[in-house]
Structures are given as structure tokens and as C-alpha cells.
Amino acid sequence: MRILITGARGQLGRSVAAAAIERGIDTVALGRRQMDITRAENVNRGIEISLPDLVVNCAGYTAVDRAEQETTLAFAVNRDGPSHLADACSKKAIPLIHISTDYVFDGRKQDPYDETDPICPLNVYGQSKAAGESEIHKKTDRYIILRTAWVFGAHGNNFVKTMLRLGCKHETIRVVDDQIGNPTFSGSLAEVIMRIAAHYRRRNEINWGIYHYGGQPPISWYGFAQQIFQIARRAGLPLKLTRPEAISTDEYPTAAKRAANSVLDNRKIERTFDIRVESWHAGLQAVVAHHRQTQKRR
């Protein structure tokens, strides 16, 4: 089986490519320079040349606050890109795995969100991702839309790396404590994608549709920050931070509105693909250790 990965230079794309190569899968990993998914001709040409058996779209515009100003760009990447991919895949009868987000929900539900819950994004980023889901649904029947949340890894920009950077510079950091979600290690998410790919390889057909995968257990940003700094101290990082300060969303205004609850229900993906949802703790330890090694080399 040959897998084409788009967005292969991002934190998730790099993890998916590494997981595929580790398994000996014929992997075509393309960044934006090799395949700009906002251009239909680039997508068509890339698929024609690589002739994959499966496409995994890890490309995405993820700057949540900046999207409020860069609306056109956000929709070009998160709506038009998936639309081009789904169209090209449909013409070649190639299945598509697409990464979406918890930001399609408004956070008003008290319980975890499952795949049947109506979407109601609060910000431009969420709206653009919801539009991408809709385009895929219209263009092809053979797709997996994998909604995830709070992704972090050793590469790219993410909350963990931001906390580590700030914790080494400041004695106090203010972190929101009334938004709850699922921190998800990019390596764990990559393993889930490989599990789905293997399932398809064996059977050549699977239960297509939308699935949720978020790391466990759910936690607030503040609680997650506490865990980050505890592990960082044990790893010997030179933290200046004495304590994180818990604040409310109202005390930390941002350009984009955030949901108070974006916890994802994982039961459907567990049942369908026999996937055991990973704790984010091990992934967090790995990212902190990688950060520590990077700092030593500087």
C-alpha cells in the first residue's frame, strides 16, 4: 500500500510520515511546497504522479486567533483544500483520511461530544474546518473525518512548547482554567491513523464517516500546564516559573472565541477499529525530554 500524506512538514504530518515509514509502508510525504492543496491543479497532479492507495490530509490552517483576520486564507486551506482532495480522490476511487477539530462545537454541551452532535463553531477557524468537512461529504463517499483536539508534539507550534518556553523566562504564567478538552499527542494520533490504514488494507472497505479521537483524561488548560511544569522540573529544565496562575476565559480575551467544553467522546472509534485511547501523559514526557535534549544542543 502506498500512502500520500499532505501537510507532511507540520507536527502531525511528520508524526504520520514517521509512523508509516517505520511500518515499511510506501510513503509519499508532501509539504506545501510540493503540494499546495489550495490549488486544484496541484492536487490533481500530485495524485496523478504518486498514484496512492490512500490519502491522509494533515495540511491545515491552525492559527486560531489569526484566522479572524485571515479569513480568506483559512477557508482556502481548511475548506477549499479538502474539497480539491476529495474531488481528486473520488475520481481515482482513493479513500481519504482528513483531520478535523473539536472547534466545530460551541461547548454548550455538558457531556463529551459524540459524532452525532450538531456542530456550531464559534470562530472562523472552526467555521472553516466545518466547511471542509461538508465539502468532503459532498465530493466523496469513501472518507474518514477524524476530529481531534489540543494536538501537541515535538515539532511545530503547540501549547506544550509554548508553556516550556514561557516557563523558562517568567516566574508567573496566567493560564485559563475554565476550558476543558483532550490533549492529544501527535504520535498517538499517528498510530490511530495507521491503525485505520491497516484496517482498510486488510479489508479494502471500512465503515466510512466521522470519528472522534482525543487523548485521555480530559483536563483544563491550567491543569495541563501544571502537568507540563511538573514533568519539566523532574526532567531538569531550568524553569524560572514559581507557579502558574489559574484565570477565567473572561480574564484572557482572545480574537477568537473558545468553547468551554470541547471534550470528545471516543467510543465510536474504539468500537469500530478496536482502538485503545492513549493517555497523553507518556506523550507529554516524550515531548519534554525532546525539548530538554534540544536545549542541551544549543
CATH of the domain at 53: 3.40.50.720
Q: Is residue 296 predicted with pLDDT exceeding 90?
A: no
- Quick: pLDDT tens for 153-196: 998 889 999 999 999 899 899 999 999 999 999 999 999 999 99
Kindly report which listed range (74-78, 98-102, 231-235) carries the lowest average pLDDT score. Answer: 231-235
Closest CA to 71 of 121, 117, 11, 136: 121
3 state SS for the chain: CEEEEECCCCHHHHHHHHHHHHCCCEEEEECCCCCCCCCHHHHHHHHHHHCCCEEEECCCCCCCCHHHCCHHHHHHHHHHHHHHHHHHHHHHCCCEEEEEEHHHCCCCCCCCECCCCCCCCCCHHHHHHHHHHHHHHHHCCCEEEEEECCEECCCCCCHHHHHHHHHCCCCEEEEECCCEECCEEHHHHHHHHHHHHHHHHHHCCCCCEEEECCCECCEEHHHHHHHHHHHHHHCCCCCCCCEEEEECHHHCCCCCCCCCECCECCHHHHHHHCCCCCEHHHHHHHHHHHHHHHHHHC
- Quick: pLDDT tens for 19-37: 999 999 999 999 988 999 9
Domains in the chain, number: 1
d(CA 144, CA 100): 10
Could you tell me if 206 and 276 are in contact, meaning their C-beta atoms sit under 8 angstroms apart?
Answer: no
48 falls within a domain = yes
222 falls within a domain = no
Confidence grade of residue 263 (pLDDT, cut at 50, 70, 90): very high
Q: Which three cell numbers stand for residue 96?
A: 481519504
233 falls within a domain = no
- Quick: pLDDT tens for 264-275: 999 999 999 999
128 falls within a domain = yes
Q: Which three cell numbers stand for residue 255?
A: 480574537
d(CA 77, CA 59): 8
Position 117 scores a pLDDT of 96
For residues 232-251, average pLDDT:
90
109 falls within a domain = yes
Could you tell me if 278 and 215 are in contact, meaning their C-beta atoms sit under 8 angstroms apart?
Answer: yes
248 falls within a domain = no
165 falls within a domain = no
pLDDT, mean over the chain: 94
Q: Is residue 43 predicted with pLDDT exceeding 90?
A: yes
Position 242 scores a pLDDT of 81
- For residue 191, the enclosing domain spans 2-157+185-215+263-277
Confidence grade of residue 298 (pLDDT, cut at 50, 70, 90): low
126 falls within a domain = yes
Position 243 scores a pLDDT of 81
Enzyme catalytic residues: 125
